[in-house]
Structure 1
Amino acid sequence: MFFPPAYAQSGGAGAGGFGFEQMLPFLLIFVVFYFLLIRPQQKKAKMHREMVSNLRRGDRVVTAGGLIGKVAKAPEGPEVELELGEGMKVKVIRETISQVVTKSAPPEGSPPPAANEDNKGGGLLGGLFKR
């Protein structure tokens, strides 16, 4: 019934502290999440901010609620005035515009917009899949 003192005191080897080997899987999971989820989402948010900041009068847009209209006024501020139909104008928050369907022609005398070649999107796989 009793164990000899030699067996009772042997605690087993390798009961060290919290080593790098135990933390490595968590670091690898974080790196995978960063490249597959966080980084593409940041790029998408940056593209949306640029799109919203470049709104001009005459652009045809779609809001997050599904309203399709033409930008009547785009002042510097959080609101944009959309014309949904003949004489029907509504104010929407600039950030709720989800996409620009057609861009209006730039006003005469203004420089043409710069083509951004490195803004292809697509996340980790880049341009492997054509849209």
Structure 2
Amino acid sequence: MIVISTAFAQSAAGGAESGLLSFLPLILMFGVLYFLAIRPQMKRQKEHKAMVEALQKGDEVISSGGLLGRITKISDAYITLEVAELADKPVEVVVQRAAVQSLLPRGTLKETR
């Protein structure tokens, strides 16, 4: 009878520590996930937002659909891209501002045409 009560007392005392230790791997996994996945994604989103806000008329860009063009008009939500010239008239396409994937160095489109 004394052996059973001693064993029960030992397991009850270790129960509080094992409860905290059981959450430690979960906390560590969340920390690793945050630094490897969430934080870099938030940084990329912040950089993309700053790039989209800084767009100017005359910038050469690539849209998310792969369309290369020069910005001719800018509004709050949309930009107009000149993608080609056909019979000395510009071919223009309207895309959302957020659809701009990257900014190209000036003069890039002259090399591709």
Aligned to 1:30: 30
Aligned to 2:94: 91
Of Structure 1 and Structure 2, the greater helix share is in 2
With normalisation by structure 2, the TM-score equals 0.75
With normalisation by structure 1, the TM-score equals 0.65
Q: Could you say what secondary structure the match of 1:57 adopts? A: coil
Compute the displacement of 1:36 (Å). 0.7
Residue 18 of structure 2 corresponds to residue 13 of structure 1? no
Distance 1:59 1:74 in 2: 11
Compute the displacement of 1:103 (Å). 5.0
Q: How many residues are paired up?
A: 96
Task: Tell me the amino acid that sits aligned with residue 98 of structure 1.
Answer: Q
Distance 1:49 1:32 in 2: 26
Q: Could you say what secondary structure the match of 2:11 adopts? A: coil
* Correspondence list, 1:1-131, <5 A: 13=11, 16=15, 19-75=19-75, 77-86=76-85, 87-102=90-105
Unaligned runs of 5+ in 1: 1-5, 105-131
Compute the displacement of 1:74 (Å). 1.4
Compute the displacement of 1:13 (Å). 2.8
Compute the displacement of 1:20 (Å). 1.1
Instruction: Spell out, residue by residue over 1:88-113, the C-alpha distance to the aligned partner (whole angstroms, 9 max, x if none).
Output: 11100111110000259xxxxxxxxx
Distance 2:73 2:105 in 1: 16
Unaligned runs of 5+ in 2: 108-113
Distance 1:29 1:74 in 2: 44
Task: Tell me the amino acid that sits aligned with residue 93 of structure 1.
Answer: Q
Instruction: Spell out, residue by residue over 1:57-99, the C-alpha distance to the aligned partner (whole angstroms, 9 max, x if none).
Output: 0000000100000000112x11111110121111001111100
Percent of residue pairs bearing the same amino acid type: 35
Task: Tell me the amino acid that sits aligned with residue 20 of structure 1.
Answer: L
Aligned residues: CA RMSD: 2.2
